[in-house]
Amino acid sequence: MDFWIVASLAAFFMGLSKGGMPIIAMLSVPLMALIMDPALAAGLLLPIYIVADWYTIYLFRKAFSVRNLKILIPAAFVGVVIGFLSVSHVPANALKLLLAAIGIYFVTDSVFKRLRRKQSPARPADVPRGAFWGTVAGLTSYIAHSGGPPYQVYILPQKLDKMTYLGTTAILFACINLMKVGPYIWAGQLTWDSFTQSLWLAPMALFGAWSGARISKILPERIFYLLIETALGLMSLKLLYEGLTG
């Protein structure tokens, strides 16, 4: 009984994040880690992520950045392949520390610019930066399930409108999560038993995604992006803590 209560909450929180409330996502895997091995928890949640991903695409299908997706999806695929080939050689804690440093630098820079009231012009999507950060996002998503920080470091300076940001994010991470299915099965993280459990939890994730989308659509754009930056900062601090403590 405890398993299903905790797992249902984790699925709901994950769905909320897919619907546009990113801070809540940080609770999903830690919650599941209370009752099972974190690697197996990630495997259990992957099919639920995929179900929520495609529902989120449906919700935000009217707005997305085609140019960004053309750059980021191939780059993320390269990152996933690198992650699969190097997962046994890359210390997870070192990767978490690197992600934490990237996120903390970006958020700190944004805060100081805001305090100085210095508005940076929007940066256009470009291949060199997109290829680099897209590859890092694919790699870190595969190894540490943390593709958000590198993606946000690339996408936030573009100052996309809220709905375009949500649509682009939904499509990109739906693709990345699909790329991870084969390797997860190969590694034994995703099994038939865990897949069956995921099916029972999927409705909670869909309800969470629907709820998150309703909230994100009514949030003012300034508050929405402040929420994104706050989530990035908190996620970075969490990764810093995990990287230092192991």
- The number of residues in the chain equals 246
CA atoms of 143 and 204, how far apart (whole Å): 26
Short-list 239, 70, 67, 228, CA closest to 156: 228
Contact 206, 49 (CB under 8 A): no
Cα end-to-end span (Å), the chain: 30
Query: Any idea where the domains of the chain sit in the sequence?
Result: 2-245
- The per-residue pLDDT for 118 is 63
- The per-residue pLDDT for 120 is 72
Contact 151, 137 (CB under 8 A): yes
- The per-residue pLDDT for 39 is 64
Span 66-82, pLDDT tens digits:
999 999 999 999 999 99
pTM for the predicted model, two decimal places = 0.77
- The per-residue pLDDT for 219 is 77
Phi, psi of 37 (to 5 degrees): -60, 135
197, exposed or middle or buried, with CB in 10 Å at 0-12, 13-18, 19+?
Answer: middle
Regions of the chain where pLDDT drops below 70: 1, 22-34, 37-39, 88, 90, 92, 95, 99, 116-119, 144-145, 246
CA atoms of 119 and 141, how far apart (whole Å): 31
Q: Which helix (H) or strand (E) holds 162?
A: helix 162-179
Short-list 11, 21, 19, CA closest to 58: 19
Short-list 170, 162, 158, 161, CA closest to 133: 158
| Tokens standing for residue 174 | 């739906």
